Chain A
């Protein structure tokens, strides 16, 4: 007596639906991706503020936890123009390659006299250099003020955002403030993380 056995089939699942979902998600993530920038490590404090940081026309002054100051502008053409402006006012000429390399840096923290050697380094070594920070002092006429001026000359629409680390000491912030105020910039944004407002808080 031969037993009737069911025919053996290789297990086969229809993957089409899964592919659909996978690629839908993939499309979503590609569209929304804004990449993490490998700038100085800064953990910002959080606030209940709901205002989003603008994406374009923005310059960011960052203060890391050791009190070093970094400066960055969002658009590449503006960065190049800014470098040219500061070169003109300080009597330094930058070559085209230096400008091109500078335009690729989202932020930097070098005193002017150390900028050229850094820009002449091979590309792959540039991120490994420890940046000393832009000199800032309380007189309000330091290199940071020159950079801000050069950037605003390159693009007058630039808004200013300050991004400080949790543990940056107040005096550094005060010095940055006096550099900005010396140029009559009295309104800026403080970049913070977002946090939930306490219970019972209503926005009027």
Chain B
């Protein structure tokens, strides 16, 4: 491949025999080939995007908790994580209320759920004053069911971060009235 160089020094004609001057040019092509081969390998073998992490703190089970006033249902949005990425929710109503069955609605994760949370947050915070500690009245109770997945849980926790709902609780037991209300929606299907 290397270009043939014209022999130098022919025009001088002083009769001395000189060593031919060798070209100092090195053919770089194989080196470039090797370089790009290695680049390709490292590019494919590298994971570029580092995973992020959400921190999750759960209440201490061993700690004695003082009896507190039960939450008023009117301040609570309850989310039930159902199967097939469905979310059932009760907005400001308790599961043992007579009208609960009529007001149980279904939504999907993502934008739909976010709109539900925002609407409820706005309504409840407007209707109720902040408490003495300056916390907003709006509380979300998240109830996973046996048919929900880990992704669902992360999605809901993510929505909490997006909607800036500071007060939320992950409660993993359903009450009798809730079980009755949800019925076969939360039965595992095989």
Chain B residues whose CB sits within 8 angstroms of the CB of A22 once the complex forms = 32, 35-36, 39
Residues of chain B in range 127-156 having any CB-CB distance to chain A below 8 Å: 144-155
Segment of B13-21, B55-63, B177-185 engaged in the interface with chain A: B55-63
3 pairs of A and B residues whose beta carbons are closest in the complex: A15-B28, A22-B35, A29-B42
Chain A residues whose CB sits within 8 angstroms of the CB of B36 once the complex forms = 22
- Interface presence of B187 (CB below 8 A): no
- Interface presence of B164 (CB below 8 A): yes
CB closest residue in chain B, given A198: B162
- Interface presence of A26 (CB below 8 A): yes
Q: Mark A148-177, 1 if CB is under 8 A from B, else 0.
A: 000000000000011011111111111001
Bound state CA distance, A171 and B56, in angstroms?
17
Chain B residues whose CB sits within 8 angstroms of the CB of A45 once the complex forms = 150-151, 154-155
**Contact call A170/B29, Cβ cutoff below 8 A:** no
Residues of chain A in range 29-79 having any CB-CB distance to chain B below 8 Å: 29-30, 32-36, 44-53, 63
Contact of A36 among B45, B54, B111, B150 (CB under 8 A): B45
Residues of chain B in range 45-71 having any CB-CB distance to chain A below 8 Å: 45-62
Smallest CB–CB gap between B61 and chain A, Å?
Answer: 5
Chain A residues whose CB sits within 8 angstroms of the CB of B1 once the complex forms = 10, 12
Count, chain A residues at interface, CB 8 A: 60
**Contact call A49/B53, Cβ cutoff below 8 A:** yes
Chain B residues whose CB sits within 8 angstroms of the CB of A198 once the complex forms = 111, 114, 162
CB closest residue in chain B, given A203: B161
Chain A's interface: helix, strand, loop or mixed, by majority? mixed
Count, chain B residues at interface, CB 8 A: 54
Instruction: Knowing A166-B151, A169-B146, say if A35 contacts B35 (CB, 8 Å).
Output: no
Bound state CA distance, A47 and B38, in angstroms?
33
**Contact call A173/B150, Cβ cutoff below 8 A:** yes
- Interface presence of A89 (CB below 8 A): no
CB closest residue in chain B, given A33: B46
Bound state CA distance, A127 and B5, in angstroms?
57
Instruction: Knowing A22-B36, A36-B45, say if A167 contacts B55 (CB, 8 Å).
Output: no
Residues of chain A in range 98-115 having any CB-CB distance to chain B below 8 Å: none
Smallest CB–CB gap between B182 and chain A, Å?
Answer: 14
- Interface presence of A179 (CB below 8 A): no
**Contact call B56/A189, Cβ cutoff below 8 A:** yes
- Interface presence of A3 (CB below 8 A): no
Smallest CB–CB gap between B30 and chain A, Å?
Answer: 10
**Contact call B46/A34, Cβ cutoff below 8 A:** yes
Contact of B39 among A25, A48, A191, A194 (CB under 8 A): A25
- Interface presence of B102 (CB below 8 A): no
- Interface presence of A141 (CB below 8 A): no
